[in-house]
Amino acid sequence: MFGDLIDKFDGIFRKLRGAGKLTEKNIRDSLREVRRALLEADVNYKVTKEFIKAVEKSAVGEKVLKSIEPGQQIIKIVHHELIKLLGEKAEPLAPIDKSPTIYMLNGLQGSGKTTLSGKLALEAKRKNKKPLLVAADIYRPAAVKQLKVVGKSIDVELFSLEGKNPPKICTEAKKYAEKNFFDLMIIDTAGRLHIDDELMNELEEIKARVNPDELLLVADAMTGQDAVNVAEQFHNRLNITGVVLTKLDGDARGGAAISIRAVTGCPIKMVSTGEKPSDLEVFHPDRMASRILGMGDIVSLVEKTEQTLDLEKAAKLEEKLRKNAFTLEDFYDQLQQLKKMGPLESIIGMIPGVGKALKGIQIDETGIVRVEAIIQSMTPKERQNPDIIDGSRKRRIADGSGNSVQHINQLLKQFVAMRKMIKNMSKMKFKNLPRGAFPFQM
């Protein structure tokens, strides 16, 4: 997620920090690079222009030039403006407080509506709410079946009607939900290749008949500016309440995520980062900005951990991370947990400073088995204090785990990088970002 941008910002900021005293010229040079980075990330042209203007206005002032750490000041300004661009604060979905609350999902073909239906239903269940999935896609032969499978896998009831049109299905579904005390009704509508009048008319009619509490556009982040255009058109016709960006896991550029709010005025409410039920997050502009600027997102990481693991373990992890008491044993433990949480890159990307720290160090999923074997071959003392692992210990561990000494070195290097990162992390203050908030060295 945002891989390209993170790399570029890292380079730009590195230069800024190295510049010592800043002049208006090197600020302008950096901003030109920021501008190029945003455009290359497929951020909307106008949005980029406005963004640079806003940053420039705050940055090219005496205050910044005279501050003790001008480089840091600029990063702070970029961070601040990015948060503004992304929407300032999180806008969660309408609360499930009626019988039924209605979420209606719209979007182009393959954008991820059906997958999202399942995720939202599961989340409702987690909150002890009773969800109902409504199959309003009667055009694609396998669509109803697909939603049925989704429903079955999470044990959620499906409402479908044969031989009826989608507005009628939704009206009947609402009656059914009212009668049977469902808390949430999720309408999975049909996707189309392009926006056409027929589709819009149908969606408008469903909207008019059931009056949904959320009218969400599900947009594929990987389609970049197309997603932004689609959002604009949907919003013009349907007055959507929010956007859910999907496939952010495969979106290295981030153009849609960054532009959509500014172009449409519609908030991004949730983001989907994978196909698994747990790959759904509330969109937090501040956290997303931090992630984009390579500052990680420890808050989301801890939340994700809490969702996936038992709370006690998560609390312990958080404490350890903050106390900087992370050992190889914890590392091992975390690997076990990580395996449950989804693709490693998405998890690891949330750790502050990780973009650079772990760059080039392989943590592919198959490599985990090796890492496990290596740690298992260590003595408890070695796991607690890897500094004592000298040449002969390395050879013993290598033999014991069926690896080469090189592999042991690689793991230790990886662990040291991780520890350093965590050490930096503990310096972070989440509430008052300004000073010392950045996990990288200034």
Ligand X SMILES: Nc1nc2c(ncn2[C@@H]2O[C@H](COP(=O)(O)OP(=O)(O)OP(=O)(O)O)[C@@H](O)[C@H]2O)c(=O)[nH]1
Q: Which residues bind ligand X (CB under 6 A)?
A: 107, 109-115, 137, 140, 143, 191, 246-247, 249-250, 272-275, 279
CA distance 341 to 339: 6
Q: Does 72 bind Mg ion (CB under 5 A)?
A: no
Least distance to ligand X from the beta carbon of 180, Å? Answer: 25
50 interacts with, out of ligand X, Mg ion, none, CB within 5 to 8 A per kind:
none
Q: Does 114 bind Mg ion (CB under 5 A)?
A: yes
Strands across the sheet with 214-220, in order?
A: 157-159, 131-136, 184-189, 101-106, 214-220, 242-246, 268-272, 280-282
Q: What's the distance, CA 367 to chain centroid?
A: 24
Instruction: State the DSSP H helix or E strand holding residue 440, giving kind and residue range, or none if neither.
Output: none
> Which residues lie below 8 Å from residue 277, measured CB to CB, with a gap of 6+?
118, 119, 122, 154
From the list 114-122, 221-229, 263-271, 402-410, the region that binds Mg ion by CB under 5 A is 114-122
Q: What's the distance, CA 90 to chain centroid?
A: 13
- Residue with smaller CB distance to ligand X, 63 or 152: 152
- Residue with smaller CB distance to Mg ion, 107 or 355: 107
- Residue with smaller CB distance to ligand X, 100 or 191: 191
Least distance to Mg ion from the beta carbon of 186, Å? Answer: 12
Pull the structure tokens for residue 117. 């239906």
- Residue with smaller CB distance to Mg ion, 170 or 389: 170
Closest residue to Mg ion: CB criterion: 114
Strand partners, 219: 245
DSSP alpha helices (H): ranges in 132-183? 143-153, 166-179
- Residue with smaller CB distance to ligand X, 135 or 357: 135
Least distance to ligand X from the beta carbon of 248, Å? Answer: 6
- Residue with smaller CB distance to ligand X, 107 or 212: 107
172 interacts with, out of Mg ion, ligand X, none, CB within 5 to 8 A per kind:
none
What is the sign, positive or negative, of the torsion defined by CA atoms of 15, 16, 18, 19? positive
Instruction: Name the residues that contact Mg ion, by CB under 5 A.
Output: 113-114
